[in-house]
Amino acid sequence: MVAGGLFYLLANKQLSTEYYKAHSTLKYVLEKLLPWLLLVNLFAILVALFFAIFYTHRIAGPIRRIQEDLKKIAQGKLTTQVKTRKKDQLKDLESEINKMTAGFKQDLQFMKEEWLKLDGDLMRLEELTKAKGLSDSELRQTWEKIKSSKEEIKEKLFHFKTE
């Protein structure tokens, strides 16, 4: 647009009298060049529009898909894998999100296993207490298992910052 405006200002000058008489029957350069100027600018606008739409869709499509997958992950579906097409611009982001999700999944699986162990140890402790056959060494061993599980779960849980 700027180039077209400058061209218009420069081309809209009257030809010098000598040049006008000797070479042309045109009074203004603009009479000859204006149709071409308009055509070239129209073509440039169409090409720019095409590329603007084409490239925004190449980015907007993958972002929309990633956003949908992130919603699933936020709902707790850690089996969700973010996938984009081979030529998408956001392959690095896809990879990092999948690594993050795999880490969450691994940490949560570990905490579930530790929780089950802890639950089993507490049941055993309760059974032994009810049976009144609890020796000091059994109590100490069970207590150490519970403390160890508690610390491992705490380490995983406090890995996540909430403030």
> Mind listing the pLDDT tens digit of every residue in the chain (163 residues)?
666 666 666 666 655 554 555 555 555 556 667 777 788 888 888 989 998 888 887 788 888 889 999 998 888 888 888 888 887 778 888 889 999 999 888 888 888 888 888 888 888 777 777 776 667 777 778 778 888 888 888 887 777 665 5
Q: Is 28 helix (H, G, I), strand (E, B) or coil?
A: strand
> What predicted TM-score, i.e. pTM, was given to this entire model?
0.57
> 76: phi > 0 → left, psi -120 to 50 → alpha, else beta; which?
left
Is the distance from CB of 60 to CB of 84 less than 8 angstroms? no
- Residue-level length of the chain: 163
Helices within the chain (DSSP H only): 2-11, 17-23, 29-74, 91-131, 136-157
